[in-house]
Amino acid sequence: MATIKDIANRLGVAVSTVSKGLNGAPDISEDLRQLVLDTAVEMGYKTKRMRKEELKKLAILVENMEYLKEDDFGYDLVLGFEQMAYRDKWDVEVVPINARVQAKERYDTYMLRHGYSGAFVMGMALMDKWMDEMNRTTIPTALLDNYVKMNTNVGYVGTDSYEGMSIAVAKLVELGHSKIAFLNGSPNSMITNQRDEAYKAALIEHGLEFDEKLVAHGYYVAESAPYYVPGMISAGATAILCGNDLIASGVIDECKKRGFKVPQDISVVGFDDIPLASQLKPALTTIRQERLELGRLAFFTLDSLMHKIPVSRTMLRPEFVERKSIGKAKK
Amino acid sequence: MATIKDIANRLGVAVSTVSKGLNGAPDISEDLRQLVLDTAVEMGYKTKRMRKEELKKLAILVENMEYLKEDDFGYDLVLGFEQMAYRDKWDVEVVPINARVQAKERYDTYMLRHGYSGAFVMGMALMDKWMDEMNRTTIPTALLDNYVKMNTNVGYVGTDSYEGMSIAVAKLVELGHSKIAFLNGSPNSMITNQRDEAYKAALIEHGLEFDEKLVAHGYYVAESAPYYVPGMISAGATAILCGNDLIASGVIDECKKRGFKVPQDISVVGFDDIPLASQLKPALTTIRQERLELGRLAFFTLDSLMHKIPVSRTMLRPEFVERKSIGKAKK
């Protein structure tokens, strides 16, 4: 392992300067401190704090996702991860991140500076700066819903969209639907792309034709519905699959507003099964992600990576939860 | 849970007859015993033995795969699984199975009768009777290299063929190869199909054309090579990817026999990295499956399933091990 002296030699500065940089002393410029940290990471240097076994700390980094309230999508993910981590005597810190944090510091440097041995990263978008750094990071990292090629330090944890879509479309076909629309979420995410592909695969599996007029990308919010539902209904849709439950709640509202009954006129299926789903009127039929279990699997994936077992992906089966928002296709 | 009486009522026999059937008493016909066991499984009945916590027993069922010697493909898989299972105080029994065992008894019945709480199943072929039963089994089961849709009791464990093929083809392209052949193993297996697809995907990724004359299916043995290597070389192949290391060893021999030098004339890449690979002349470049880790992941997958966490798949990253069997493409 590199020593402080190695770092000093490489940078051509005094050992004391490196030491100041590593320990965040105030009498050194921010630029130099950053350079010292970046070089330390690059050379595989670990601070004393990190080397001490008793300081075992993991991070859950959260972006674009609510997690504080029981109804939030991220709540059970955090809980499941923490449950497993505490059993293994890890401390877990949940840290919201954003573009500013990512612009300021490299991912590896951030992790080293905080003494995190690994992270579970939830909600990162494809265009994020740190997402690109995931291709090269040396920090064990479990990524929710994001896949990185080749890097043995990073594993992907998620729910099998293909199986979920396949079950949902099978059920709708059984109910006589053949014009099944799909209102998906924001395009700049791996999971959106995966669900698009899963939707297409499910149509093929059930002998239905793909019709561009029946698909659209909004955002993962209820407000997407008014923009796309009218067009889908004009194009003959009798059922609308949604990228998540929030979109579905907007779709139900929009259908009602336009005088269409759910499920008598239009069947609606959500994705995720957040607590809201069962409280909608009608109660939402949805493709459930077992978020508590997903959080637990994320810990397992991270634990494997920290033990140098290069898990590439761990997938959970979704569950089709049938409630009141789907019915027989209107003739 | 069903009782012995429930089973007796369903079958219209005496409770004592059911009891005899469950306990394997000699004074009851084999057919009736089987019917009792099948019905018990169907109704979710568990014998006292199974209910006792202290009897924790798992099975590793092995077919079409050697595992007793350190050089065997299955050796480390068994070891990795056992290492993890013993930590959790499970007993593990390794049981070779074959078509006869599968014809004689249903999978669930077999597992119940032996008191196994779950199984890691290695080497099963798509046409196997129990493979079909995997679609419906109620026994937690981790399947090596086989995927079953929808059944939440079954999870798939394997190595990511796509990533392996992608790295291998990238490396060969870097060395100037464009006619890259693929001699795969027996078609009646999910992993063979997956590697076929992975090969095609890797060609597309690197802008190479798929040529039917450059692909063939033999068996997963060295003896496949003489049948297919000459045709591939006639079709212009300068590199041959192989479905496993045994096939690759046959390919190297066949090339030599026909006066082609490896790697000067033909580059050869294996799959698996069994101990034999490094002992070949030239030492074989291969796509390594981390079998010890795969065995450990299999235990984790099974453990999750036994805890009702419906893992659908757990994939391990392969490692590209470069030795002496690949070189620059001959102009």
Residue B55 above 70 pLDDT?
no
Both A299 and A154 in one domain: the answer is yes
Q: What is the pLDDT of residue B50?
A: 59
Side-chain-side CA neighbours of A206 within 13 Å: the count stands at: 23
**Helix H or strand E segment including B300:** helix B291-306
Both B30 and B87 in one domain: the answer is yes
Strand order in the sheet with A180-184: A215-217, A180-184, A239-242, A267-272, A285-288, A319-321
What share of chain A in percent tops pLDDT 70?
97
Q: What is the pLDDT of residue A59?
A: 97
Mean pLDDT value of segment A231-242:
97
Total residue count of chain B as it appears in this document: 331
Both A174 and A260 in one domain: the answer is yes
Residue B51 above 80 pLDDT?
no
| Interchain contact B160–A (C-beta under 8 A) | yes
Q: What is the pTM of this model?
A: 0.77
Q: What is the pLDDT of residues A92-110, one digit of tens each?
A: 999 999 999 999 999 999 9
Mean pLDDT value of segment B154-183:
96
A263: which residues sit within 8 A by CB, 6+ positions away? A282, A324, A325, A326, A327
A57 part of a folded domain? yes
- One-letter amino acid at B34 equals Q
Distance of CA A2 to the CA centre of its chain: 35
B41: which residues sit within 8 A by CB, 6+ positions away? B106, B108, B109, B112, B138
Both B151 and B25 in one domain: the answer is yes
Q: Which residues of A touch B287 (CB under 8 A)?
A: none
Tell me how far apart the alpha carbons of residues B216 and B240 are, in angstroms, rounded to a whole number.
11
| Interchain contact A112–B (C-beta under 8 A) | no
Q: Do B314 and A310 touch (CB under 8 A)?
A: no
For residue A203, the domain's CATH number is 3.40.50.2300
Which residue, among B205, B300, B303, would best test binding to A if mutated, counting the most A CBs under 10 Å from its CB?
A: B300
According to DSSP, residue A176 is labeled T
Both A174 and A243 in one domain: the answer is yes
Find the residue in A nearest to B167 (Cα).
A150
Which residue, among A314, A319, A320, A321, would best test binding to B if mutated, counting the most B CBs under 10 Å from its CB?
A: A314
Residue B53 above 70 pLDDT?
no
- CB atoms closer than 10 angstroms to residue A212: 7
B320 part of a folded domain? no
Q: Which residues of A touch B317 (CB under 8 A)?
A: 150, 152, 310-312
Q: What is the pLDDT of residue A47?
A: 67
B12: which residues sit within 8 A by CB, 6+ positions away? none
A258: which residues sit within 8 A by CB, 6+ positions away? A229, A230, A233
Both B187 and B141 in one domain: the answer is no
| Interchain contact B163–A (C-beta under 8 A) | yes
Q: Are A287 and A273 in contact (CB under 8 A)?
A: yes
Taking each helix axis from N to C terminus, what angle separates B291-306 and A291-306, rounded to the nearest 10 degrees?
160
When pLDDT is cut at 50, 70 and 90, the band that residue B48 belongs to is low
Number of H helices, E strands in chain A: 14, 12
Q: Do A309 and B319 touch (CB under 8 A)?
A: no
Both B10 and B153 in one domain: the answer is yes
B325 part of a folded domain? no
Which residue, among B148, B309, B319, would best test binding to A if mutated, counting the most A CBs under 10 Å from its CB?
A: B309
Closest to B139 (Cα-Cα) out of B50, B21, B48: B50
A325 part of a folded domain? no
Mean pLDDT value of segment B58-64:
95
B56 part of a folded domain? yes
Mean pLDDT value of segment A277-295:
95
Q: What is the pLDDT of residue A26?
A: 76
Closest to A120 (Cα-Cα) out of A78, A64, A75: A78
B128 part of a folded domain? yes
Q: Which residues of B touch A290 (CB under 8 A)?
A: 309-310
Q: What is the pLDDT of residues A246-272, one digit of tens each?
A: 999 999 999 999 999 999 999 999 999
Higher pLDDT, A24 or B184: B184
Both B173 and B113 in one domain: the answer is no
Tell me how far apart the alpha carbons of residues A203 and B2 are, in angstroms, rounded to a whole number.
40
Residue B38 above 70 pLDDT?
yes
Q: What is the pLDDT of residues B113-142, one digit of tens each?
A: 999 999 999 999 889 999 999 999 999 999
Tell me how far apart the alpha carbons of residues A201 and A241 are, in angstroms, rounded to a whole number.
14
Closest to B216 (Cα-Cα) out of B187, B253, B252: B187
Find the residue in A nearest to B154 (Cα).
A317
| Interchain contact B297–A (C-beta under 8 A) | yes
- CB atoms closer than 10 angstroms to residue A236: 12
Q: Return the residue matching tokens 């519905």.
A: A225
A321 part of a folded domain? no
Both A154 and A167 in one domain: the answer is no
B157: which residues sit within 8 A by CB, 6+ positions away? B120, B142, B143, B144, B145, B294, B297, B298, B301, B313, B314, B315, B316
When pLDDT is cut at 50, 70 and 90, the band that residue A56 belongs to is confident
Task: State residue B256 phi and psi, 5-degree precision.
Answer: -60, -45
Q: What is the pLDDT of residue B10?
A: 85
Both B84 and B54 in one domain: the answer is yes
Tell me how far apart the alpha carbons of residues B200 and B187 are, in angstroms, rounded to a whole number.
16
Residue A204, domain extent: 161-289
Looking only at the bridges linking them, the beta strands covering B311-316 and A311-316 are antiparallel
B327 part of a folded domain? no
Total residue count of chain A as it appears in this document: 331
Tell me how far apart the alpha carbons of residues B301 and B80 are, in angstroms, rounded to a whole number.
13
Both B91 and B37 in one domain: the answer is yes
Tell me how far apart the alpha carbons of residues B250 and A8 are, in angstroms, rounded to a whole number.
54
B174: which residues sit within 8 A by CB, 6+ positions away? none
As beta bridge partners, residue B133 has none
CA distance A4 to chain B (A): 33
| Interchain contact A300–B (C-beta under 8 A) | yes
Q: Are A11 and A18 in contact (CB under 8 A)?
A: yes
| Interchain contact B255–A (C-beta under 8 A) | no
Q: What is the pLDDT of residues B77-99, one digit of tens each?
A: 999 999 888 888 899 999 999 99
Distance of CA B163 to the CA centre of its chain: 18
Q: Are B140 and B117 in contact (CB under 8 A)?
A: yes
Nearest CB neighbour to B314, from listed A152, A167, A314: A314
Give the total number of structural domains in chain A. Answer: 3
Q: What is the pLDDT of residue A210?
A: 95
Higher pLDDT, A162 or B188: A162
Both B137 and B276 in one domain: the answer is no
